[in-house]
Amino acid sequence: MDLSYSPEEVAFRDEVRAFLAEKVTPDMQDKVRGKGELTKADMENWHAILNAKGWLAPNWPKKFGGAEWNAVQKHIFEEEAAMVSAPRIVPFGLGMLAPVLQKFGSKEQCDYWLPRILSGEDWWCQGYSEPGAGSDLASLKTTAVLNEAGTHYVVNGQKTWTTLGQHANMIFCLVRTDKDVKQQEGISFLLIDMDTPGIEVRPIVLLDGTPEVNEVWFTDVEVPVENLVGEENKGWTYAKYLLTHERTNIAGVGFSQAGLASVKRLAKSEMAGGKPLIQNPHFAARVAQVEIDLMAMSTTNMRIVSKAAAGQAPGVESSMLKVKGTIIRQEINDLARRAAGAYAMPFASEAVEGSNEMLPDPLGAGPVAAKYFNNRKLSIFGGSNEIQRGIIAKVTMGS
């Protein structure tokens, strides 16, 4: 298997680099690196820039307005964007819902919703997890009952850990439409307008001091039957399809490469025992180990990308990448926090939003602890690493 880039792929990489050099501003980079907060307007602006270039929906077919990149092109863009601290594409509508609509939705749903995702007219969030249904998602309790006229579902229940739900006007939800069958067989996939009466969004403040996630409550919320994706009680199939995409993307090779470069920069600046920290044997050994792990994962990722480019869908490899990728990113976050030393002490959002006079920070390391605390979630969301290890064991042992 040839893991090197072809001349065409190298040319594409050069085009991506030139585009990012022109469009990614220092203000964007500062906010991505944690010296501030990306606002909804910032994220919408980046989406608009990419959409104008035709790059906002890299894996969508061209007939839907996408770039129709192959897996290698998508990998190149994500890696290059991470290395220059470009804003990340908000994935919920573009990378999660859209593939489900394109594969399982009706023509009318695709014709209506997909252009609105591209234009930014709709901001989507994900309604999967519940207080008693995280990795064990099939035990979800939110119900959707069809009214007597057969025109609407009436939804009641609660979703939690809804990322960026405070910005969303739409949410795609897994709901229980049949309580009398096996858990996985009684779930449906609904598209719900967040402005519908009966919906309440409550922020959850995370360890880093930011309200990135939310609780979403549904009380007698009426949803038109036209907003059912695919068939009733087939939502578990659609959910698994979506999560395969999410878990592969969580690997975050580009983010880890950028983070490791930052760790090395910090470790060369900070002194320990009269020498740069990078020369400390224990610290240097940890850096070396995570770099080896990252190189191995990057190679594995390229193998999977190569298979995908040849038309082979990822299977258990998605779980492998999810587990290893999140472990590596968390180790890099910890190394950065240790390298920053006292400069990593402030972690609440208000501590990194003040002027340099209020927060002396010659290393630019103020946001390091915030990232460390925030990224503890990586091994939990998208299916916890414990669950992913079970999937890997089940498949590899043939049971």
Q: Give the pLDDT mean for 351-375.
A: 64
Tokens 């307007």 correspond to 41
- What are the start and end residues of each CATH 1.10.540.10 domain in the chain? 7-89
Given a contact cutoff of 8 angstroms between Cβ atoms, the answer to whether 192 and 127 are in contact is: yes
Choice among 228-237, 273-282, 360-369, 381-390 with the minimum mean pLDDT: 360-369
Given a contact cutoff of 8 angstroms between Cβ atoms, the answer to whether 290 and 328 are in contact is: yes
Tokens 């001349």 correspond to 7
Dist CA 168 CA 203 (whole Å): 13
Which stretch, 289-303, 311-325, 337-351, 362-376, has highest mean pLDDT? 289-303
Ramachandran area for residue 284 (φ above 0: left; ψ -120 to 50: alpha; else beta): alpha
Architecture of domain 7-89: Orthogonal Bundle (1.10)
pTM to 2 decimal places: 0.84
pLDDT at position 242 is 80
Dist CA 206 CA 165 (whole Å): 14
Has residue 310 got a pLDDT over 80?
no
pLDDT at position 355 is 45
- The CATH code for residues 251-396 is 1.20.140.10
- What are the start and end residues of each CATH 1.20.140.10 domain in the chain? 251-396
- Tell me the two tokens of residue 223: 């949803």
CATH of 124-233, one of 1.20.1050.10, 2.60.120.10, 2.40.110.10, 3.40.50.720: 2.40.110.10
Choice among 222-236, 246-260, 287-301, 327-341 with the minimum mean pLDDT: 246-260
